[in-house]
Amino acid sequence: MGSQLVGKVALITGASKGIGKAMAAAYAAEGAAVMLSSRKQEALDAAADEIRSVTPDARLATFAANAGEEEQAAACVAATIDRLGALDVLVNNAATNPVAGLTIDADLAAWDKTFKVNLRGCLVWTQYAWRSWMREHGGSVINISSIGGISGMSGIGTYNVTKAGMIHLTKVLAEELAPGVNVNSIAPGLVKTDFARALWEPLGDEIAANLVLPEDIAAAAVFLGSDAASRITGHTLVVDGGALIGRGPR
């Protein structure tokens, strides 16, 4: 077991698979106690069992919650503090992307749902973490954005607009919650996950083999949640394999 996060308690949303599960595994391996949250309890329990198979002494808890529902967010934050004793790191990772196509033709109900989960949800979970623990004890918030929130590419424009909003929200909250709480974001490029399968699978095996992996994002999240990043706030860390400079798929 590593030691970068020993003594810390982390709550990770969207933690049952993909990037979220990789971050939970990395946090546990570095000594943190981790609350895994996502919508489905069965998937959470399976993820926790998988992490324990690699890190047998991992201190884990699970709590099913829809990231877009305020009451469920409040209950999960409260359960984290009650069961694990603190809330030092909040990772806002849960996201939805119900539609693709031209943003000008976006279905407004889908637009509203995407904003409710991705952007409003990010604020809500941070509000409860702040009010319940971090205002008094300090901590770190890590928002999982996307390079789509930087580049403005089309195709999944609604999703990307929420991720651009998350980057700006990160800056605003970093100023408001300083100096006790650091707020940063990670902007992944195209990551080889089931969530993004429709984007990377058509690229072919050779390109897909060189995509950013969930473990790459997890390593960045470990750094931002550790004391090594104590002087970093309001920053967006891009982890895209060079996509924004034209060296990889976007």
pLDDT digits (tens, 9 = 90+) for 85-131: 999 999 999 999 998 899 999 999 999 999 999 999 999 999 999 99
Residue 196 vs residue 188, higher pLDDT: 188
Answer whether residue 206 shows pLDDT above 80: no
pLDDT of residue 179: 98
Q: For residue 135, give the amino acid letter.
A: R
Q: In what order do the strands lie in the sheet with 181-188?
A: 60-64, 33-38, 9-13, 89-92, 139-144, 181-188, 236-239
Helix (H, G, I), strand (E, B) or coil at 20: helix
Active-site pick, 159, 190, 222, 236: 159
- Interval 232-244 mean pLDDT: 94
- Interval 171-179 mean pLDDT: 98
Kindly report the pTM of this predicted structure.
0.94
Share of the chain above pLDDT 90, in %: 83
Answer whether residue 132 shows pLDDT above 70: yes
Q: What residues contact 225, with CB distance under 8 A and at least 6 apart? A: 5, 8, 10, 27, 32, 88, 89, 91, 140, 142
Assess whether 128 carries a catalytic annotation.
no
pLDDT of residue 248: 64
CATH code linked to domain 9-237: 3.40.50.720
Per-residue confidence at 187, pLDDT binned at 50, 70, 90?
A: very high
Q: Compute the distance between CA of residue 166 and CA of residue 118 in angstroms, rounded to an integer.
A: 8
- Interval 184-204 mean pLDDT: 72
